[in-house]
Amino acid sequence: MSIKLIFSEYFEIEEKVLDDYGALNICLDADLPLFIDPFLLFASDKPEYQQQHDKIVSHLILLKEIAIHDGRSANENLFKFPEVKQNWLGLCKYGNNGKGLGTKFAKDIIKAFNGFYSNFGEETISSASHIEKLTLVGAGIGKDFISDFTTNLMLEYLLEYTQEFAQKYLQPEQRKRFNIRCVYDERLMLWKPKEFELPYFYLEGDGDFILLTPLDILTKDDSFICHSELVGNFRSIASSIGNSALRESINSYFYKALPISPKKKDFEYAVSKTINEFPEILDYYIKMKEEKKDQSKKLSKDKLDKIRSELISTLTLFCENVLESSDFFEVKPNSYDEALKRAIFLKQVIEDNDGYRVFYQKGRPIASEDTIQRIFRLTWYASPYDVNAEVNNGRGPADYKVSFGSGDSTIVEFKLARSSSLKKNLKNQTEIYRKASKSITDIKIILCYSVYEIAKVERILRSMNQLGAENIVIIDASPKQSASKVV
């Protein structure tokens, strides 16, 4: 079986072609945990990126004017934005279907523009307006807004960027013409279609188009302007305000809002209360970030290099070294046997086939639970089983639920041995998930990086009377000595 999960492999081109063009070599089986950071557009020296940032902010200001003018009767459809799934970026570990910005977002942002954020676009402290501002304080607008809104407003640019690559480097049979809504008509207040020639899933016949994204506008986790940093550095941000009267008023108000021995939630409450009283704090924070805009490019590059080396390269190596030469996909027992067989297969690859090497760089372990989860997902390529990542059945998300019909399902959980909460999770977590989803069985997979970690796991399992249990798979990912050196 030929397994082509990476863009360069699928279209049979060198990865260097994408690197030289400046595009991310995406995985075509599941989203990569990256998104476009609008601050990188603002901070860029490229005029076309700066234009895209202006376009994004201008559209948001247009929506604000509609929200204020029409109030509760505003057309919510204008405030809804689907996820652009064809870029294969986001949080989905299996596939590329996200939720986008729907009715709840529309209601929240209309309310925000008629309340706390009514002055958006009228800032005088910062040098520009930034859409990230809307995520800084409780308006019900989360960081998913940044990714979905930015990608929708940049869609025409990304389509042109992808079309140029496809026409230059791909074969005619690998390209196809698509009509895609990406141009907003302010007069008619609707999105209009435009035709592009794009790469698509040509091996699947009438497949969907694929979108490429420039590497230098991508980041991981939080954007450069984010709520977590605002809260974490609130005291230093407030103390750096040049207006001494305002600075003293803010600090006085903030410390009065804190109890004598504040906990984390008390601190967050005091920050929120102070910002509501002195909303200009947000603009001072953003101004501080603007002054450090050169740092944003380096931070983003470091995060991206980490993702590319730890995840994309790992996925590629795993497929090249193991999956393409395996008859593994022909076995079709029940979901528990199927999941257990794949877990054991993964264990053998890592322990006996030098698969552990992809989890190290310069002798240091790099794999997180997220990495091992995504690699496990690849072992289900072309499987008839339903494999859902992070299934949430009301008791928090499980890593995977493997199903074959409504009466046959198995929960699979991944853990690192180094986790301080390992014993607690082993004892409670999958049992909770199993009951919540009515799954019949569950499997736990534990990744160990050293003999010490293996011993730790065995002690925990022995204390739980679980040592040797079939459904607990311990994977030894410690470095192995070359066979030629073994006496």
Q: Tens digits of per-residue pLDDT, 249-285?
A: 999 999 999 988 888 889 989 999 999 999 999 999 9
Burial 164-181 (b: 16+ CB within 10 A, else e): ebbeebbeeebbbebebe
Q: For residues 391-406, give the mean pLDDT.
A: 53
Q: Please, are residues 78 and 103 in contact by the beta-carbon 8 Å criterion?
A: no
Residue listed under structure tokens 């204020």: 68
More confident residue, 409 or 20: 20
Q: Tens digits of per-residue pLDDT, 310-326?
A: 556 665 555 555 455 45
Q: For residues 46-57, give the mean pLDDT.
A: 96
pLDDT of residue 212: 96
Question: Cα(37)–Cα(32) distance, rounded to whole angstroms?
Answer: 15
The mean-pLDDT minimum among 43-57, 64-78, 107-121, 380-394 falls in: 380-394
Nearest partner of 87 among 185, 217, 204, judged by Cα: 217
- Give every CB contact of residue 359 below 8 A, 6+ residues apart in sequence: 314, 350, 365, 366, 367, 371, 447, 449, 477
Using the predicted structure, report yes or no on whether residue 486 has a pLDDT greater than 50.
no
The mean-pLDDT minimum among 60-69, 132-141, 301-310, 461-470 falls in: 301-310
Strand intervals (E) in 343-392 = 360-361, 364-365, 386-392
Q: What percent of the chain has pLDDT above 70?
A: 75
pLDDT of residue 391: 45
Q: What percent of the chain has pLDDT above 90?
A: 43
Q: For residues 306-313, give the mean pLDDT.
A: 63
Q: Per the structure block, which two tokens stand in for 162? A: 């992808």
Residue listed under structure tokens 């863009």: 7
Q: Per the structure block, which two tokens stand in for 278? A: 């002195």
Q: Please, are residues 278 and 250 in contact by the beta-carbon 8 Å criterion?
A: yes
Mean pLDDT value across the chain: 82
The full DSSP string for 57-88 is HHHHHHHHHHHHHHGGGS-GGGG-B---GGG-
Q: Please, are residues 252 and 66 in contact by the beta-carbon 8 Å criterion?
A: no
pLDDT of residue 94: 46
Question: Cα(52)–Cα(142) distance, rounded to whole angstroms?
Answer: 21
| pTM across the whole model | 0.71
Using the predicted structure, report yes or no on whether residue 101 has a pLDDT greater than 80.
yes
Question: Cα(268)–Cα(274) distance, rounded to whole angstroms?
Answer: 10
pLDDT of residue 350: 79
Question: Cα(309)–Cα(290) distance, rounded to whole angstroms?
Answer: 29
pLDDT of residue 34: 82
Quickly state the pLDDT bin for 331 (edges 50, 70, 90). very low
Q: For residues 418-443, give the mean pLDDT.
A: 69
Quickly state the pLDDT bin for 382 (edges 50, 70, 90). very low
More confident residue, 124 or 100: 124
The mean-pLDDT minimum among 162-166, 322-326, 468-472 falls in: 322-326
Q: Please, are residues 282 and 250 in contact by the beta-carbon 8 Å criterion?
A: no
pLDDT of residue 413: 83
Quickly state the pLDDT bin for 185 (edges 50, 70, 90). very high
Nearest partner of 286 among 273, 274, 296, 277, judged by Cα: 296
Nearest partner of 369 among 239, 475, 242, judged by Cα: 475
Quickly state the pLDDT bin for 89 (edges 50, 70, 90). confident
Using the predicted structure, report yes or no on whether residue 432 has a pLDDT greater than 60.
no
pLDDT of residue 399: 63
Quickly state the pLDDT bin for 340 (edges 50, 70, 90). confident
pLDDT of residue 445: 87
pLDDT of residue 92: 52
Q: For residues 399-427, give the mean pLDDT.
A: 77
The mean-pLDDT minimum among 204-208, 222-226, 304-308, 477-481 falls in: 304-308
Using the predicted structure, report yes or no on whether residue 164 has a pLDDT greater than 50.
yes
pLDDT of residue 93: 47
Nearest partner of 471 among 433, 448, 442, judged by Cα: 442
